[in-house]
Amino acid sequence: MPPPTKYINRWEDIKDDVFEIIYNMKAPLSAEDKDQLVKAMRERGYNIGWNGLRDNMARKVTIWDAEQNLAALQAMYEWMNPSKQDMIEIALACRTKGHHFSGSALA
């Protein structure tokens, strides 16, 4: 096997290769699966071990629940201070998702 030649600066640089390799692996990954993933990445020229992969994968996963969505929405509303016309446009956009209310109901 040739020595690794690609040094990773960003998760975006490797994520497609990682996901392509693990696509057919059964979750949760076994120790053998983890070894295979590292081996496959090294065969593709990446200089990375399991800890580097694990740290990058864990850091990028965010699961949003209703409370987080609401908090973000409220903060955006207060920060951006949408105009009346903005609120009308937002209400119209919500209608395409099956929610029916007026722009004034949002203000």
> What is the tens place of the pLDDT at every residue in 4-40?
555 565 777 777 888 888 877 777 788 898 899 889 8
pLDDT above 60: residue 60: no
39-52 pLDDT tens trace? 988 888 888 888 88
Q: How many CB atoms lie within 10 A of CB 18?
A: 19
What is the chain's mean pLDDT, rounded? 79
pLDDT on residue 7:
59
Angle at 68 between CA 66 and CA 74, to 5 degrees: 100
- The percent of residues in the chain predicted with pLDDT above 70, rounded, is 82
pLDDT on residue 35:
92
pLDDT on residue 20:
82
Angle at 83 between CA 78 and CA 85, to 5 degrees: 140
